[in-house]
A and B are shown apart, each in its own frame.
Chain A
Amino acid sequence: MIGSGPNITAIFIFVAFVAASLGITWWAAKRTRSTGDFYTAGGKITGLQNGFALAGDFMSAASFLGVTGLIFIGGSDALLFVVGVVVSWAFILFAFADRMRNLGRYTFADIVAYRLQPERLRTLAAVGTLTVAIPYLIAQMVGAGSLIETLFGLPYFVAVLIVGGLMTIYVAFGGMLATTWVQVIKAVLLLAGVTALFVMAMAQFGFDIGAMFAKAAEVHPRGRLILRPGGLYDDPISVLSIALAFVCGTAGLPHILMRFFTVPDAATARRSIGYAVVFIGYFQALIVVVGFAAIALLVGQAEYVDESGRIAGAANMVSVYLARVVGGEIFYGLIAAVAFATILAVVAGILLSASAAVAHDLYAKVIRRGEISDQAEMIVSRVATVVLGVVTIGLSLWFRNINVGVLATIALAVAASVNFPVIFLALFWKDLTTRGAVAGGVTGLIVVVVLIVLSPTVWVNALGNETAIYPYAYPTLFSVAAAFIVTIVVSLTDRSERARTDRAGYDEQLVRSELGPT
C-alpha cells in the first residue's frame, strides 16, 4: 500500500457513494413491479440520463485505469483504443440505434429473433451474452479486488465480497432503474474526477500541453519512441484486429445494447447516444493527456516507478498515483473512490444483462416458450441475478491470479465475433436465415476461443510454450471475418422451409425497424 495506512478521504467518499446507491436501490425497488420495469426501467429514462448511463456503462476501470497504464508502457499506441472507442459509438448511432430501439423490447435477442426461429436465436444470443458478461465480470472484480487491496488495505476476498455483494443488491432489488441511476452518478463523478486530474496535472506544466509531451518523451526510458506509433503493435494484422475488436465489439456488448430499450422511442435513443458520444469523446481526449502527464510526473520518483521504468504495484495504478503526486492525500483518496465507484457501477450493468439473458431469453422464452406470468418471470430474474452474482464472486475468488487482459479480450472478441455479425445481418440483410445465423455465431465463438488459446498471452505466457502458434494478441480480424463468411454462405445455400419464412419476414421487419412499433 502506498501511503501511511487506509486513506480516510477514499473511505469517506466511497461510503457516501455506497449509501447513496443503496438509497437509490431502495427507492427503485418500490417502483420495480413488472419485468418491463426490471429490465428496462419501464422505458422511461430520458435522453440525457441514458446518455450519462451509456457513457457510464462504457467508461469502465479498463478505460480509466487501463488506458493510462497502457500509455505508460506503450505510449501512442494506446490511441488505437482511445480513438476506436469513440468511432465505435458514432457507428452504433448511425447503424444500430434507430432500428434496434424500434424492434426490441428487453434484450438484443428480441432483434435477432424478430423474424428468425425465436428459440434457436434466443439461445444463441443468451450464449453470446453470457460469454461476454462472465469473463467481463470476473475481469472487473479481480481488478477491483486488487485495487481495493492496494488502496484501502482490505484483504482481497473482502474486497471481492463487497463489490459482488453490492452489485447483486443493486440489480436484484432495483433492476434497471437503480442500475441506471448508479451509472449516472458514477459517470458524473468519473467525468468530474478526470477533469480535475487533467487540470491539476496540466497546472504542473503551466497548461502548456506541448511542454508536457516534451517532458514525457524526455524522461521515459524509451525516450521519444513513446510518442511514435508501433511501440506495442507494429504489424497491420494486429492493428486491424484491434480496430475491429473495438468498432464491432462495442456494438456487440449486451449491457450497452440493452440500454437502447430504457428510453421511450428511437428519437430519444438517438439523442441519448449523441450525449454518450460527447461524454466518451471528452473523457478519452482527457485520459490521453492524463496518461502522458503521468509519464512526465511519475518517472524518476522511486516510490512509484522503479529503475527499469516499471510502475510499483500494478500498471493500472498510474492514474491514482498521478492523483497523489499532483493533489496530495485528499485528491488521491477522491480519485481512488471514483475508481472504485466506476467498477461497482459497471459490474451492476453487466450483471443485469446476464440475468436478463438467463431469465428472459433462456427461461421465459425458450424453456417456457413465453408461457409464464410476469410475476413469475420477475421472481426468476431476481433468482438468476443472485445465482449469477454468487457464481461470479466464487469465480473471482478462485481465479484471483488470472490474466485480466485475456478475459477482457475474450469478452470484447466474443461481442465482435458472435453478437455483432448476427445483429448486423439480421437488421440489414434480407437473406439471413436461422441456420446461417446459428452456424456463423458458433463459428465466431470457436475461432475466438481457439485463437486466444494459441495466442502469445495464453500459449506462451500461461502454458509455457516456446512460440505462439497464433502470433497476435487479438483474434478479431479472423474471427469476425469467419463469422460473417460462414453466416452468409450457409444462409445463401439454405433451402429449408424455415429459410423461406426467415426471408419472407424481412419486409415487415424493415418497415417496423424504420417506423417503430404500431
Chain B
Amino acid sequence: MGNEAEILRDPEFQKMLAQRSRWRWGLSGGLIGVYLTYCLAGVYFADALARPFPGSSIPWVIALGYLIIALSIGLSMLYIRVVGRLLATPLGERESSQ
C-alpha cells in the first residue's frame, strides 16, 4: 500500500473525489428521479398523458419520453466533458500510453 495511503490523504485527491462524487450522484440521481417520476405519472395521470402535446397529435407520454431520451444523451455528453476536465490535473487518471 503506502503510496495509495499517501494519495488518499492528499487534499487535491480528496477535492477531486468530492467533485467527481457530486457529478456522479447528482446526474445519476437526477436522471433516474426524472425517469421514475415519468413511470409513475403513467400510472396516476394516464389521461393527462394521453392528451396531445400542444401543437401536434403526439401524446404527452411519447413527447416526454423523447425529452428524457434527449436529456440522457445531453447529460452523458456533459459528464464526459466535466470529468475529462476534472481529471486534467497532475494527479488525474493515467491515460494509456498507446
Q: Given A86-B68, A281-B69 in contact, is the A94-B96 Cβ separation under 8 Å?
A: no
Question: Among A98, A211, A281, A284, which residue has its beta carbon within 8 angstroms of that of B83?
Answer: A98
Contacts of B56 on A, CB cut-off 8 Å? 209-210
Taking a contact as CB atoms under 8 Å apart, the answer to whether B5 and A507 are in contact is: yes
Q: Does A471 contact B (CB under 8 A)?
A: no
Q: For the complex formed, measure the closest distance between the CB of B92 and the CB atoms of chain A, giving whole angstroms.
A: 7
**Residues 217-228 of chain A, each 1 if its beta carbon lies under 8 Å from chain B, else 0:** 000000011011
Question: Among A80, A91, A273, which residue has its beta carbon within 8 angstroms of that of B39?
Answer: A80
Contacts of A165 on B, CB cut-off 8 Å? none
Taking a contact as CB atoms under 8 Å apart, the answer to whether A288 and B80 are in contact is: no
Contacts of A228 on B, CB cut-off 8 Å? 46-47, 49-50, 59, 61
Contacts of A512 on B, CB cut-off 8 Å? 4
In the bound complex, how far is the Cα of B91 from the Cα of A507, in angstroms? 16
Taking a contact as CB atoms under 8 Å apart, the answer to whether B40 and A274 are in contact is: no
Contacts of B47 on A, CB cut-off 8 Å? 228
In the bound complex, how far is the Cα of B40 from the Cα of A80, in angstroms? 10
Taking a contact as CB atoms under 8 Å apart, the answer to whether A102 and B36 are in contact is: no
In the bound complex, how far is the Cα of B66 from the Cα of A236, in angstroms? 22
In the bound complex, how far is the Cα of B65 from the Cα of A53, in angstroms? 25
Contacts of A43 on B, CB cut-off 8 Å? 96
Q: Given A79-B65, A270-B80 in contact, is the A230-B8 Cβ separation under 8 Å?
A: no
Taking a contact as CB atoms under 8 Å apart, the answer to whether A76 and B73 are in contact is: no
In the bound complex, how far is the Cα of B43 from the Cα of A358, in angstroms? 43
Taking a contact as CB atoms under 8 Å apart, the answer to whether A87 and B93 are in contact is: no
Taking a contact as CB atoms under 8 Å apart, the answer to whether A229 and B42 are in contact is: yes
Q: Does A84 contact B (CB under 8 A)?
A: yes
Q: Does A514 contact B (CB under 8 A)?
A: yes
Q: Given A98-B83, A210-B58, A288-B62 in contact, is the A80-B42 Cβ separation under 8 Å?
A: yes
Q: Which residue of B lies closest to A510 (CB)?
A: B8
Taking a contact as CB atoms under 8 Å apart, the answer to whether B73 and A86 are in contact is: yes
In the bound complex, how far is the Cα of B28 from the Cα of A517, in angstroms? 25
Taking a contact as CB atoms under 8 Å apart, the answer to whether A209 and B58 are in contact is: yes
Taking a contact as CB atoms under 8 Å apart, the answer to whether B96 and A264 are in contact is: yes
Q: Does A339 contact B (CB under 8 A)?
A: no
Q: Which residue of A lies closest to B21 (CB)?
A: A428
Taking a contact as CB atoms under 8 Å apart, the answer to whether A516 and B93 are in contact is: yes
In the bound complex, how far is the Cα of B75 from the Cα of A366, in angstroms? 40
Segment touching B, from A237-245, A328-336, A396-404, A494-502: A237-245
**Residues 1-45 of chain B, each 1 if its beta carbon lies under 8 Å from chain A, else 0:** 101110110000100110010011001100110011011111100
In the bound complex, how far is the Cα of B35 from the Cα of A243, in angstroms? 8
Taking a contact as CB atoms under 8 Å apart, the answer to whether A511 and B4 are in contact is: yes
Taking a contact as CB atoms under 8 Å apart, the answer to whether A234 and B46 are in contact is: yes
Q: Does A406 contact B (CB under 8 A)?
A: no
Contacts of A274 on B, CB cut-off 8 Å? 76-77, 80
Q: Which of B3, B52, B68, B70 has the most CB of A within 10 A?
A: B68
Question: Among B17, B42, B43, B57, which residue has its beta carbon within 8 angstroms of that of A210?
Answer: B57
Q: Given A239-B40, A265-B94 in contact, is the A94-B27 Cβ separation under 8 Å?
A: yes
Task: Contacts A90-B31, A512-B4 known; list 14 others, CB within 8 Å.
Answer: A83-B68, A84-B39, A86-B73, A90-B72, A94-B24, A210-B56, A230-B46, A235-B43, A242-B39, A247-B32, A277-B73, A278-B76, A285-B66, A288-B65
